[in-house]
Amino acid sequence: MPNDLAVETTPIPGLLVVHLPVHEDARGWFKENWQREKMVALGLPDFDPVQNNVSFNARRGATRGIHTEPWDKFVSVTNGRAFAAWVDMRDGDSYGTTFTIELDPGTAVFVPRGVGNSYQTLEDGVAYAYLVNEHWRPGLTYPALDLADPTVAIDWPIPLDEAEISDKDRANPQLADAVRMRARTPLVIGCHGQLGRALMAAFPDAVGVDLDDLDVTDPAAVAAWPWHEHSVILNAAAYTAVDQAETPEGRVAAWAANAAAPATLATVADAHRLTLVHVSTEYVFDGTREVHDETEPVSPLGVYAQSKAAGDLAAGTAKRHYVVRTSWLIGEGHNFVRTMARLAGDGVRPSVVDDQVGRLTFTTELVRAIRHLLDVGADYGIYHVSNGGEAMSWADVAAEVYALSGRDAADVGRVTTEEYFAGKALAPRPLHSTFDLTKLAATGFESEPAMRALRRYLSA
């Protein structure tokens, strides 16, 4: 028996062998069969088990599987020995890969979703235990595989014609005819907005929904959605009519979409072990600081800003969350850059505010950052994302657009926010919107300069 806890990889991606210290004396032995803190530190996924099952096998040669339930397992024996075999049933390059090992009280195995699980007892009276991270539900179907499939060629210690096998397991299909387990897919909420469209392009296997498909403010709709089919929630939905949010109707709509919906999604994410990516805004700050980092307390000004700040706090309650704040978003469709380019083409000489300062964020950059955080497994929490380079005012950006459009940059007039707002019923805006990108950079992400991205955007 090993004296140290250890985790080893196998040829099947994600299938991990865990060597458990077993402490013996004259009375018998003791082991920590599941120890979350120690095992996660050694590389085991933090898979949140919800059910512990034990299968007692009275006779040597009892053979079960190969079953591919749609959840993760942590398998072991509490006494005796068993030969265990796994076959990767996930759609992909590793489909059909096998791994076998002998289980005793000092050996356990973490089995990821989509890997077929089976075993054969080598002694009488073997108790086989397994933790799972989803509750069994009636009517569930899942892929299975013939124990005798010559393609995977499992070398069973006890010949299968001498083993005790259920009729159901004898009737399972061979690998060529078996159903492949499809991976869980990302879910993009707000898929028709400029950010949602960019997310759908970057996550081609994602399922995209809008409020007509899934109203996350409706408890019944949320309860009915098949969340177990998804791996991550990408929430790009928001009420963004900043000025309309100041009206009685707008206030209700803003709080429903920007605060209540993220709270619901955080609850869903925890219930189904999903990662929640929630997109937020620099409006959660009042703009008195010239540069905003992730440690700055929120200080929203208007109703839209207040609802978004509440949404940040709600999304942050999810165990696995990324609250991604962005500023001055530019993508496909109507936006400031497109408006300035159109005005330049029409010969207009606009007046643009010169005392609101920040950086543009192109949807391609924001999506690239979100993808990066997920791919590298960055620490959960808040991240500020924008394009890089020098901070600029809206007037500076407009002047650059005019120059790139073949117009004189001096054709852009400059006014203060106070002058621009005079006589207009507009919500307050933060004057300083520049993000500190240090935390994002520490994950290995290099932000593209905004003006380089602007030139490419206008030339497309």
Q: Catalytic residue numbers?
A: 67, 130
Distance CA 272, CA 226 (A): 10
Q: Buried (b) or exposed (e) across 80-98, using 16+ Cβ within 10 A? A: bbbbbbbbbbbeeebebbb
Q: How far is CA 379 from CA 89, 223, 224, 309, in A?
A: 30, 29, 31, 21
Element housing 57 (H / E): strand 51-57
Distance CA 295, CA 438 (A): 12
Task: Give the closest residue to 232 by CA, choosing from 95, 370, 362, 47.
Answer: 370
Strand partners, 79: 127
Give yes or no for a contact between 357 and 192, defined as CB atoms under 8 angstroms apart: no
Tell how many helices (H) and how many strands (E) occur in the chain. 13, 26
User: DSSP strand E in 354-423: where?
Assistant: 357-358, 361-362, 381-385, 392-393, 413-415
Distance CA 433, CA 360 (A): 10
Cis before 330 (ω within 30): no
Query: How do 51-57 and 126-132 pair as beta strands?
Result: antiparallel
Element housing 221 (H / E): helix 219-224
| CA 88 to chain CA centroid, nearest Å | 23
Task: Give the closest residue to 48 by CA, choosing from 276, 272, 263.
Answer: 272
Structure tokens at 22: 């077993």
User: DSSP strand E in 68-150: where?
Assistant: 73-79, 82-88, 98-103, 107-111, 115-121, 126-132
Distance CA 218, CA 215 (A): 5
Backbone angles phi, psi at 65, to 5 degrees: 110, -170
Three-state SS for 233? strand
Identity of the residue numbered 312: D
Q: Buried (b) or exposed (e) across 331-341, using 16+ Cβ within 10 A? A: bbeebbbbebb
Distance CA 25, CA 7 (A): 25
